[in-house]
Amino acid sequence: MGSQGGFNQSKEFLDLVKSIGETRSKSEEDRIILNEIETLKRRINDPDIPKRKMKEYIIRLVYIEMLGHDASFGYIHAVKMTHDDSLLVKRTGYLAVTLFLNEDHDLIILIVNTIQKDLKSDNFLVVCAALNACCKLINEETVPAVIQQVVELLGHQKEAVRKKAVMALHSFHQRSPASVNHLVLNFRKKLSDNDPGVMGATLCPLYDLIAVDVTPYKDLVASFVNILKQVAERRLPKTYDYHSTPAPFIQIKLLKILALLGSGDKKSSEQMYTVIGDILRKSDTASNIGNAIIFECICCISSIQPSPKLLESAADAIAKFLKSDSHNLKYMGIDALGRLIRISPEIAEQHQLAVIDCLEDPDDTLKRKTFELLYKMTKSSNVEVIVDRMIDYMISINDSHYKTETASRCVELAEQFAPSNHWFIQTMNKVFQHAGDLVNPKVAHNLMRLIAEGFGEDDDAADSQLRSSAVESYLKIVDDPKLPSVFLQVICWVLGEYGTADGKYSASYISGKLCDVAEAHSGDDAVKAYAVTALMKVYCFEKAAGRKTSLLPECQSLLEELSASHSTDLQQRAYEFQAILNLDANAIENIMPLDASCEDIEIDKTLSFLDNYVQTALEQGAEPYISENERSGTLNISNITNRSPYEHPTHSLRFEAYEVPKPVVPTKLPPADTYPTELVPVSVPESSYQPTLSSGPDVGSGSGSNELRLRLDGVQKKWGKPAYSSSSSSSVSNFDSRTTAVNGATQSDHVTAKSRELRQPAVDVSEEKQKLAASLFGGKTGKPERKQSGSAVAHSKASRTTNHGEDKVQQPTTVTTAVQSPPPDLLDLGEPTGAVNSYSSVADPFKQLEGLLDLSQDGNAGTTSSSGPDLMALYSEPSGQNQKDNMNSAPNPSNHAASLSKGPNLKDALDKDALVRQMGVNPTSQNPNLFSDLLG
Amino acid sequence: MVELDDETAFPFFITLVTTSINLLLQIHFVLLISRQGKVRLTKWYSPYSQKERSKVIRELSGMILTRGPKLCNFVEWRGFKVVYKRYASLYFCMCINQDDNELEVLEIIHHYVEILDRYFGSVCELDLIFNFHKAYYILDEVLIAGELQESSKKTVARLVAAQDSLVEAAKEEAASISNIIAQATK
């Protein structure tokens, strides 16, 4: 009975915990804790506190920190506690320091010595405690101080120690890869440890090492496959079974490793096919853990060299996930689909309706995942639908992180696949209007550049059409008072540059608008600067064209205002404007040439026009110029400035200087948090600090989304229909000619057969959904850009969706709108419905703890509460009559069964009840939740 | 429940990513929150400042506690994923990387709960409220440095019991000493 242990704390501490339990607001809680902090501050510095009391104080400090307050005043006492000889006290000390201190805390230096000592202890529990602390506390600097001892512990007779030693080395490797480099052989050896726990732990560091560089580990493929096979064949001890699945966590880790090893390596991959296929077949689809393994198999299959057979089984597994009623499985299905789609794009079409269901699901998590999938499968035929949906969703959410991400995805897709100029401008407008402040300013600058440079090669007409459509749309929305600053800057720039270019709008109209902008956003200097420069351009272009211009009165007043502005930038712009206006048309045309934003301005960097002047000066005896480099001697400034920002922290203590010899071979390892990059000169594929670098195969798909930059160089090829249709239509035409034959007689049979195989019969699908499906997956009928299908079947399926939309209604589909009861979920070990009812009956959640001290109604508690009767029964008076009544009155048979089947629990519960009574804590019908077993 | 302040949330995210998150970790932190948003246990495997921790807890309890019962057990949060599971009135949450296996983490949570259950003998929230330090000790045997270290329930139970027997032994010793003292001073 473990629970007894906890109640031997002092009354004072129990009262604290209780009073925290009874608080109704955060401020009340804070007040109590601040009080407690004061008390502890006073007492903890008392020189002769008994150890037992001190231990409790430290646990109280942990409690304070846990509730989000600062207990740093007591850290030193926790550190002292680790020095104690008694393991009991030491253990508390270690627990506290691992919770209090981050790896870069100054106090750690005081613990290293103790850890060193404890690692040598002959009590394996002391060693375990020290190893636990190692994992959290030993940082890059202190690794050399303990590493030798930890390595020795790899050969300890207790498997618990070996396992923790492996994990400690693993954490050292994450912090300071170089220090563990020479130990790779030890990890390989530990892979064949007798104890499965140690073997399982060894997979963690190996996974990290392999993720960095696969090549040195290719020889292990056979071993990993062999281990995985043995695990799957239940060769491990029964204790590693989890819900009757053999060592699932080890299986998953192995699959992750195999995914890395097989990526892009046909030979290795072929060794894995059999075992992956076996596991995929054997895994229990009814249990959560079985599905976790299946999901990992799919990830592995999508990462290694594709095998048609495995892909097919993966697709079947995905179909099962998507068809499931469980939101979790649907989510995993969408995720898996996103991974598989890279290899076999046609698989998405089978699941189009399931995907659309997920897209319209009220669950935000599922919806987002589905958007991610859509993002991955966007192409020129469906970009409009997808981006429109994404923008709608982006408008509806508040989460700034996700909004930013969606916005940049929209921008990326729009510039890559936009079908027309008009659509592109409209889309960008929407993105900027609703998330302008969140998108990277670079996106705005690139948009300006895009408009200025145009897309078509030498197609001036298309360019100017793009510009006029931009101008037109901007004039429409410029009066909106809530536009984000970045967007206004773009608008001002475009209006200034191209507002009057096509002659549709007069200079005075444009300048009036620009003045309005400057006036409406008088607090935003950047916008005003853009506006006044735009005004200058508009007037200059007019004057250069020889048209009579006169400054609008509001423009005049704006200039006057800006001339006296506090911002020197605005002042300068205003004065320049006024000066330029007084020049003649010819000069203005030279200063402000029309549509020349893309022209290169040539700068004479050598300042050759000053040569004469210099010559004269030299002749008159002036000193010749000495370049800066020569003046400052050999000092190479670039060396200093290029140093990595992640330098060694400026601690003075160094352990590594004499201890670990640097390996001679240049190594390829990932940089840890504070590792100087100079020591890792070679390719660093998985740097956490460089999100734009494409990383390992597993993360590859996500990395694209991090790029905010418009891909300007690619645009000209990607943009516009000619490039696209020519390439895709030529490749598709093969299929077209081939499938038309199929399309005739055989098609319908073929399709129904296939759909029967894949889909359950279900209710009809709304017209709208079908349309959406068609536009997302099939492309529009007859459009040449239709997605290239991998197989004739998939292709005919796609065309069926679009051409025979009406038939579809009768076709069996996966869509089930009816709410069904969820499948038996092993995870929820029958959380009693009674308990759920009782939650809803509790109106104020904070009332729950109210009754903790209420003694008055203990006897009746069981019988009076109708909401959660059998739960309460566990804690009511141990009278047989009561129990029986409750069993009979239990409304839910499963509930009943649960309480019956948990035979010993009843006794436990009664014991617990007695204890609870002893401490004066008593359950009442008001607060059944705290007393209900977590496992139902 | 908790209103997120958009303007401050975004820069905070940036600091999280650039300064403290070690993406090699499988699990970044473990949180136990009650249905009322009270914190029952926190364990941080990535370094977070006390201020960041409060903010994380506030944000996540706002997101998770308001979710309906039939929805996914995952939420996307600042480029990470938080897997949560509700047991009676207690939410167990673990934060993992974007591309990790959520179902596996769900089972890691369950694994932990089953071990707690075995240890406390049908564990309830009250056990964890008053014995949070024990919950920490057990967690340290299940997860280490953000990775699952032991997947055998029996092994974990054995280790925790070994440590506890030491506690019991020490207690008896203390009791006998105080007895002797009491006898002597009588």
pLDDT of A114-138, one tens digit each?
999 999 998 889 999 999 999 989 8
Can you list the pairs that A87-93 forms with residues at least 24 positions away whose Cβ atoms lie under 8 Å?
A87/A123, A87/A125, A87/A126, A87/A129, A87/B166, A88/A55, A88/B166, A88/B167, A88/B170, A89/A51, A89/A54, A89/A55, A90/A118, A90/A126, A90/A129, A91/A129, A91/B137, A91/B163, A92/A55, A92/A58, A92/A59, A92/B133, A93/A58
- Give the closest-approach CA distance of B186 to chain A in angstroms: 22
Which tokens sit at A851? 């009754």
A916 contacts chain B (CB < 8 A) = yes
Question: What are the angstrom distances between the C-alpha of A733 and each of A81, A202, A650, A883?
Answer: 77, 53, 65, 76
- Sign of torsion, CA A823 A828 A830 A833? negative
* Whether A120 contacts A149, CB under 8 Å: yes
Confidence band, pLDDT 50/70/90 cuts, at residue A277: very high
* Whether B117 contacts B111, CB under 8 Å: no
Choose among B70, B79, B134: nearest Cβ to A2.
B134
A327 contacts chain B (CB < 8 A) = yes
* Whether A834 contacts A871, CB under 8 Å: yes
Least confident of A23-27, A64-68, A250-254: A23-27
pLDDT value at position A934? 79
β-partners of residue B52 are: none
Is B42 in a helix, a strand, or coil?
Answer: strand
Q: Match 């296996």 to its residue by tokens.
A: B101
How many other C-beta atoms can be found within 10 angstroms of the C-beta atom of residue B52?
17
**Statement: residue A841 has pLDDT above 60:** no
Closest to A574 measured CA to CA, from A561, A584, A585, A588: A561
Q: What is the pLDDT of residues A564-586, one digit of tens each?
A: 888 888 888 888 888 888 887 77
The residue of chain B nearest to residue A69, with distances taken between CA atoms, is B50
Q: Across the A/B interface, how many CB contacts are shorter than 8 Å?
A: 273
Mark yes or no for CB contact A402/B76 under 8 Å.
yes
- Give the closest-approach CA distance of A802 to chain B in angstroms: 32
The residue of chain B nearest to residue A96, with distances taken between CA atoms, is B133
User: Among residues of chain A, what percentage have pLDDT more than 90?
Assistant: 14
The residue of chain A nearest to residue B129, with distances taken between CA atoms, is A17
Q: How far apart are CA A225 and CA A246, in angstroms?
A: 15
Q: Match 């340290």 to its residue by tokens.
A: B140
Q: What is the pLDDT of residues A179-193, one digit of tens each?
A: 888 888 888 888 888
Angle between helix A507-520 and helix A525-544 axes, rounded to 10 deg: 170
- The continuous run of DSSP H or E covering A871 comes out as helix A869-873
Is A875 in a helix, a strand, or coil?
Answer: coil
Q: What residues in B contact A848, CB-CB < 8 Å?
A: 36, 89
**Statement: residue A762 has pLDDT above 60:** no
**Statement: residue A897 has pLDDT above 50:** no
pLDDT value at position B139? 93
Mark yes or no for CB contact B103/A65 under 8 Å.
no
Question: Residues B68-81: what's their mean pLDDT?
Answer: 88
Mark yes or no for CB contact B85/A827 under 8 Å.
yes
Classify burial at A664, counting beta carbons within 10 Å of its beta carbon; exposed 0-12, middle 13-18, buried 19 or more. exposed
- Give the closest-approach CA distance of A422 to chain B in angstroms: 32
Q: Please give, one letter per residue, the 3-state secondary structure of B59-126.
A: HHHHHHCCCCCCCCCEEEECCEEEEEEEECCEEEEEEECCCCCHHHHHHHHHHHHHHHHHHHCCCEHH
How many other C-beta atoms can be found within 10 angstroms of the C-beta atom of residue A186?
18
- The continuous run of DSSP H or E covering A806 comes out as helix A805-810
Q: Match 């360019």 to its residue by tokens.
A: A463
* Whether A290 contacts A245, CB under 8 Å: yes
Q: How far apart are CA B72 and CA A368, in angstroms?
A: 12
How many other C-beta atoms can be found within 10 angstroms of the C-beta atom of residue B62?
14
Question: Residues A883-892: what's their mean pLDDT?
Answer: 46
Ranked by mean pLDDT, the top range of A470-479, B12-21, B163-172 is A470-479
A591 contacts chain B (CB < 8 A) = no
Q: What is the pLDDT of residues A411-462, one digit of tens each?
A: 888 888 888 878 888 888 888 888 877 777 788 888 888 888 776 556 677 7
Least confident of A1-10, A447-456, A775-784, A879-888: A879-888
Q: What residues in B contact A105, CB-CB < 8 Å?
A: none
Q: What residues in B contact A902, CB-CB < 8 Å?
A: 122
Q: What are phi and psi of A403, to 5 degrees?
A: -65, -45
Confidence band, pLDDT 50/70/90 cuts, at residue A629: confident
Q: What is the pLDDT of residues B82-139, one digit of tens each?
A: 999 999 889 999 999 988 899 999 999 999 999 999 999 888 888 898 889 899 999 9
Closest to A463 measured CA to CA, from A716, A116, A192, A676: A716
Classify burial at A253, counting beta carbons within 10 Å of its beta carbon; exposed 0-12, middle 13-18, buried 19 or more. buried
Question: Residues A734-745: what's their mean pLDDT?
Answer: 42
Between positions 838 and 857 of A, the ones with CB within 8 A of B are: 839, 845-846, 848
Closest to B77 measured CA to CA, from A400, A412, A408: A400
**Statement: residue A815 has pLDDT above 50:** no
Q: How far apart are CA A387 and CA A419, in angstroms?
A: 12
B28 contacts chain A (CB < 8 A) = no
User: Among residues of chain B, what percentage have pLDDT more than 90?
Assistant: 38
pLDDT value at position A658? 54
DSSP A322-359: HHSS-HHHHHHHHHHHHHHTTT-TTHHHHTHHHHHHHH
Q: What is the pLDDT of residues A693-721, one digit of tens each?
A: 344 444 334 444 444 444 444 434 334 33
- Sign of torsion, CA A496 A502 A506 A510? negative
Q: What residues in A contact B163, CB-CB < 8 Å?
A: 91, 125
pLDDT value at position A46? 82
The residue of chain B nearest to residue A103, with distances taken between CA atoms, is B47
Q: What residues in B contact A102, CB-CB < 8 Å?
A: 47
- Give the closest-approach CA distance of A492 to chain B in angstroms: 25
Q: How far apart are CA A517 and CA A527, in angstroms?
A: 8
Question: Residues A897-925: what's their mean pLDDT?
Answer: 55
A118 contacts chain B (CB < 8 A) = no
pLDDT value at position A479? 83
Q: How far apart are CA A119 and CA A148, in angstroms?
A: 10
ipTM of the complex in this document: 0.85
Question: Residues B159-184: what's their mean pLDDT?
Answer: 72
pLDDT value at position A851? 39
Confidence band, pLDDT 50/70/90 cuts, at residue A554: confident
The residue type at A21: G
Q: How far apart are CA B150 and CA A132, in angstroms?
A: 13
Ranked by mean pLDDT, the top range of A181-185, A787-791, B156-160, B174-178 is B156-160
Q: What residues in B contact A98, CB-CB < 8 Å?
A: 140
pLDDT value at position A180? 81
Which tokens sit at A473? 């749309």
> Cβ contacts of residue A693 below 8 Å, gap of 6+?
A684, A685, A687, A703
pLDDT value at position A772? 75
Q: What residues in A contact B56, CB-CB < 8 Å?
A: none
Q: What residues in A contact B122, CB-CB < 8 Å?
A: 902, 905, 908-909, 933, 935
Choose among B24, B39, B120: nearest Cβ to A2.
B120
Between positions 5 and 24 of B, the ones with CB within 8 A of A are: 6, 9-10, 13, 18, 21-24
More confident of the two residues B14 and A779: A779
Q: Please give, one letter per residue, the 3-state secondary structure of A451-502.
A: HHHCCCCCCHHHHHHHHHHHHHHHHHHCCCCCCCHHHHHHHHHHHHHHCCCC
Question: Residues B176-183: what's their mean pLDDT?
Answer: 68
Confidence band, pLDDT 50/70/90 cuts, at residue A363: confident
Q: How far apart are CA A725 and CA A731, in angstroms?
A: 10
Question: Residues B58-87: what's their mean pLDDT?
Answer: 90
- Sign of torsion, CA B116 B121 B125 B129? negative
Choose the mutation target among B149, B164, B181 for the interface with A, i.e. most A CBs under 10 Å.
Answer: B149
B162-186 b/e (C-beta count within 10 Å ≥ 16 → b): ebeebeeeeeeeeeeeeeeeeeeee
More confident of the two residues A63 and A585: A63
Between positions 63 and 122 of B, the ones with CB within 8 A of A are: 68-79, 85, 87-90, 98-99, 101-104, 106-108, 110-111, 113-114, 116-117, 119-122
pLDDT value at position A290? 92
**Statement: residue A268 has pLDDT above 80:** yes
**Statement: residue A859 has pLDDT above 50:** no
Choose among B132, B145, B150: nearest Cβ to A163.
B150
A248 contacts chain B (CB < 8 A) = yes
Check: pTM over 0.80? Answer yes or no: no
